[in-house]
């Protein structure tokens, strides 16, 4: 049952991702991207990573894709400029070599030295709960409190930058 | 929480349908009870989602009529009770018109998104102690994440209609919903911070005791302010008057739904009303004690109230909040776009951050628990 579901979801994910990057209409591509994010969240739930799945839905579908959509909707002439077809076949093939090489080497190394985490029974049995993630993030010993706080400073910088950009120019035009 | 740490995703915890029907199915078909119970709960939820808007539309028209000193629908059924079912039936049989040059796929996809978003959020509303389809540990995050789908539907509908009014309405609506989602999330974060859990059921259970233990009354004055902020920002999130600039009839002829007709329009319309129920239900869960009976500390009334089943209390509280939404609609004039943004970014957001800080202060001083 679980394996069957995984193969369905994985096939959907691959197909939707292919559609997302290859379809000429940008908006349809964005919709395919949303669907692929949802399928990814479903895969996370199958791995019992509940928090990661919820964060995936909240951040990507609720946040990032919405902003992408607003930008797409503000542009005109969607899908008319078909620059994707102007790329020559040789160019495509040469660029495909890089991901293929990466995939083959990853597959080779994973087969050669299987990760110990994947094999151990204890890691399979106990999924990570939201509480675990929270405690690990904020604990001062063996936790990630310093990266967490540094990231919050980074976000603060981004927020201040957005305010500075959006603020009206005092010396410039007053009526805008 | 802690005793389930070893297997936190057990079916009992994820699908806590332990009422009479659920237990009966469990004794009759022990093996397949998991599937049957899930199917039953999903079907009953589907029934609720399809029947609620019919009733809510009737209620809205009746309440509006009362505010304007008229009778409202009276002809179809007792006091017009069947009026909205008749309207719904008419909408189903109407032809669906697609404007020329509209993007067919997106045009028909868009109305499905808000409707399915409301259905998905309904699945984790705690109607009663064990009457909840699923209770994920991150329920609040789930609610916030899924509400992105309704914004998505509205944006896509506006663009796919190939109509400038639709696009304007969708853009306004998208900007408004994204902005007010911030303060909505911050109010929810306050309650999550105080209760120490993000599961909706646990949030309800943290309010056990008398009425004074509900979060609306618990912090000295702050709970009430948080409730008011939730009401304001959720009204904006629902695109209801006085924040209905996205479908302002007088300027935009109906906003994003202008080009929709028949069942596609009905789906937008129904989703709007179910959304109102969902957001009122979340208000009841967060602030008004959810399915808990109000215990006012009077010896002979309290046991009487405790006898009434929890889902009755849940629905009573939810419909009280819905009445508040309807009251808002006929009390306040519509805001301009710039006033709306001013309200969110310069008033609600700083106030929310202050509220969060003072909530943390009370928590650190131990003044609430």
Could you tell me the two tokens for A16? 């939707």
Compute the Cα dihedral for A147, A153, A158, A161 and give only its sign.
negative
Q: In percent, how much of chain B has pLDDT > 90?
A: 4
C-alpha B315: how far from its chain's center? Answer: 12
Cis peptide before A77, with omega less than 30 degrees from 0? no
What value, to the nearest 5°, has the Cα angle with vertex B16 and ends B11 and B20?
A: 120
Alpha-carbon distance of B363 to B359, in angstroms, equals: 6
Chain B contact set for A1 (CB, 8 A):
none
Closest C-alpha among A40, A41, A34 to residue A61:
A34
Of A81 and A20, more confident: A20
H-run or E-run covering B176: helix B164-195
Q: What is the pLDDT of residues B287-315, one digit of tens each?
A: 888 888 787 777 777 777 777 777 888 88
Helix (H, G, I), strand (E, B) or coil at A175: coil
CATH 1.10.10.10 fits A1-83, yes or no: no
Chain A contact set for B181 (CB, 8 A):
62
Alpha-carbon distance of A80 to A25, in angstroms, equals: 8
Alpha-carbon distance of B217 to B337, in angstroms, equals: 33
Nearest to A34 among B136, B152, B171 (CB): B152
In this predicted structure, the answer to whether residue B13 has a pLDDT above a threshold of 60 is no
CB A57 within 8 A of CB A37: yes
Alpha-carbon distance of B7 to B251, in angstroms, equals: 55
- Ranges of H-type helices in B207-342: 215-218, 222-237, 249-252, 262-287, 302-307, 310-329, 337-342
Alpha-carbon distance of A26 to B188, in angstroms, equals: 35
User: How confident is residue A76, by pLDDT bands cut at 50, 70 and 90?
Assistant: low
Alpha-carbon distance of B182 to B177, in angstroms, equals: 9
In this predicted structure, the answer to whether residue B2 has a pLDDT above a threshold of 60 is no
| Domain edges within chain B | 95-365
A62 touches chain B (CB under 8 A): yes
Q: Which residues of B203-219 are buried (b: 16+ CB within 10 A; e: fewer)?
A: bbbbbeeebeebbbbbb
User: How confident is residue B280, by pLDDT bands cut at 50, 70 and 90?
Assistant: very high
User: How confident is residue B7, by pLDDT bands cut at 50, 70 and 90?
Assistant: very low
Chain A contact set for B202 (CB, 8 A):
none
Alpha-carbon distance of B143 to B239, in angstroms, equals: 17
What value, to the nearest 5°, has the Cα angle with vertex A64 and ends A62 and A66?
A: 60
> Which residue of B34, B138, B174 is the best one to mutate when testing the A interface, meaning the one whose CB has the most A CBs within 10 A?
B138
In this predicted structure, the answer to whether residue B12 has a pLDDT above a threshold of 60 is no
What pLDDT is attached to residue B4?
34
> For chain B, what is the mean pLDDT?
80
User: How confident is residue B251, by pLDDT bands cut at 50, 70 and 90?
Assistant: low
Q: B146 and A57 in contact by Cβ < 8 A? A: yes
In this predicted structure, the answer to whether residue A64 has a pLDDT above a threshold of 70 is yes
Residue B294 class from Cβ within 10 Å (0-12 exposed, 13-18 middle, 19+ buried)?
Answer: middle
- Which of A111-125, B37-51, B136-150 shows the lowest per-residue confidence on average (mean pLDDT)? A111-125
Chain B residues whose C-beta is within 8 A of a chain A C-beta are 1, 5-9, 103, 105-106, 109, 136-138, 141-142, 144-149, 151-152, 155-156, 158-159, 167, 170-171, 174, 178, 181, 198
Chain A contact set for B156 (CB, 8 A):
27, 31, 69
Compute the Cα dihedral for B2, B5, B9, B11 and give only its sign.
negative
User: How confident is residue B11, by pLDDT bands cut at 50, 70 and 90?
Assistant: very low
């Amino acid at each position: 049952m679980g394996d069957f579901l995984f193969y369905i979801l994985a096939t959907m994910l691959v197909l939707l991702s292919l559609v997302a990057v290859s379809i000429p209409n940008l908006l349809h591509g964005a919709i395919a991207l949303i669907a692929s994010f949802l399928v990814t969240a479903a895969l996370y739930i199958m791995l019992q990573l509940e928090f990661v799945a919820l964060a995936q839905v909240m951040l990507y579908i609720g946040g990032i894709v919405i902003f992408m959509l607003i930008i797409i909707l503000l542009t005109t002439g969607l899908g008319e400029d078909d620059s994707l077809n102007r790329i020559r076949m040789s160019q495509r093939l040469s660029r495909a070599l890089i991901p293929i090489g990466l995939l083959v080497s990853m597959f080779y190394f994973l087969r050669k030295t299987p990760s110990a985490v994947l094999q151990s029974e204890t890691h399979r049995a106990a999924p990570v709960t939201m509480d675990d993630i929270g405690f690990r993030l904020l604990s001062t010993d063996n936790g990630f409190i310093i990266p967490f706080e540094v990231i919050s400073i980074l976000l603060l910088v981004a927020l201040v930058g957005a305010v500075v950009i959006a603020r009206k120019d005092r010396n410039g035009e007053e009526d805008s | 929480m802690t005793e389930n740490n070893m297997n936190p995703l057990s079916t009992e915890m994820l699908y806590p349908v332990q009422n009479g029907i659920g237990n009966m199915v469990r004794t009759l078909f022990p093996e397949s009870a998991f599937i049957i119970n899930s199917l039953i709960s999903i079907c009953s939820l589907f029934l609720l989602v399809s029947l609620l808007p019919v009733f809510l539309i009737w209620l809205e028209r009746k309440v509006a009529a009362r505010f304007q000193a008229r009778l409202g629908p009276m002809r179809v059924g007792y006091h017009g009770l069947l009026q909205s079912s008749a309207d719904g039936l008419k909408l189903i049989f109407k032809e669906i018109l697609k404007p020329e040059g509209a993007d067919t796929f997106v045009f028909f996809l868009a109305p499905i998104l808000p409707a399915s978003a409301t259905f998905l959020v309904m699945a984790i509303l705690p109607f009663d102690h064990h009457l909840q389809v699923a209770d994920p540990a991150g329920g609040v995050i789930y609610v916030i994440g899924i509400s992105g789908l309704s914004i998505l539907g509205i944006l896509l509908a506006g663009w796919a209609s190939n109509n400038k009014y639709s696009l304007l309405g969708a853009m306004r609506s998208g900007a408004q919903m994204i902005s007010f989602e911030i303060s909505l999330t911050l109010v929810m974060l306050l309650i999550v911070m105080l209760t120490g859990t993000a599961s909706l059921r646990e949030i309800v259970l943290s309010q056990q005791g008398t009425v004074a233990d509900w979060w609306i009354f618990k912090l000295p004055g702050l709970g009430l302010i948080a409730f008011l902020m939730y009401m304001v920002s959720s009204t904006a999130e629902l695109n209801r008057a006085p924040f209905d600039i996205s479908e302002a009839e007088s300027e935009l002829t109906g906003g994003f739904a202008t080009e929709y007709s028949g069942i596609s329009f009905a789906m937008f319309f129904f989703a709007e009303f179910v959304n109102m129920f969902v957001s009122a239900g979340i208000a009841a869960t967060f602030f008004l004690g959810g399915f808990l009976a109000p215990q006012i500390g009077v010896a002979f009334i309290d046991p009487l109230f405790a006898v009434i089943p929890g889902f009755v209390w849940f629905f009573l509280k939810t419909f009280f909040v819905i009445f508040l939404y309807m009251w808002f609609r006929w009390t306040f004039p519509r805001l301009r776009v710039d006033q709306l943004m001013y309200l969110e970014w310069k008033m609600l957001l700083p106030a929310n951050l202050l509220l969060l800080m003072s909530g943390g202060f009370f928590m650190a001083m131990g003044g609430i628990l």
